[in-house]
Amino acid sequence: MESLPQRDIFEIISKILEVIPKDQDKLIIYLNKYLDKLQFMPPEYLFGYHSWGPLTDILNKNIPVIKEEWQIKIRDIING
């Protein structure tokens, strides 16, 4: 079975931050704090599934229902 290509979580979060409206300051702050934390993690963590759990937690808490265009774009970014 072929493994899926690893995705750079920094790149994914950067793309997400580009589509979030400026009035969603709480979500932006949470994502930036998580990015700061990731800077000190080893590469195997960054490219592994462990780094995705906290990201999905942040998104699920701040976007409980996907209904707006920017939220759909974030879902599309996450789904690749």
pLDDT digits (tens, 9 = 90+) for 7-53: 888 899 999 999 999 999 999 999 999 999 998 888 877 777 788 89
Domain extent at residue 72: 9-79
Would you place residue 4 in the very low, low, confident or very high pLDDT band (cuts 50, 70, 90)? Answer: very low
Residue 1 predicted with pLDDT over 80: no
Q: Are 63 and 74 in contact (CB under 8 A)?
A: yes
pTM across the whole model: 0.86
Count of structural domains within the chain: 1
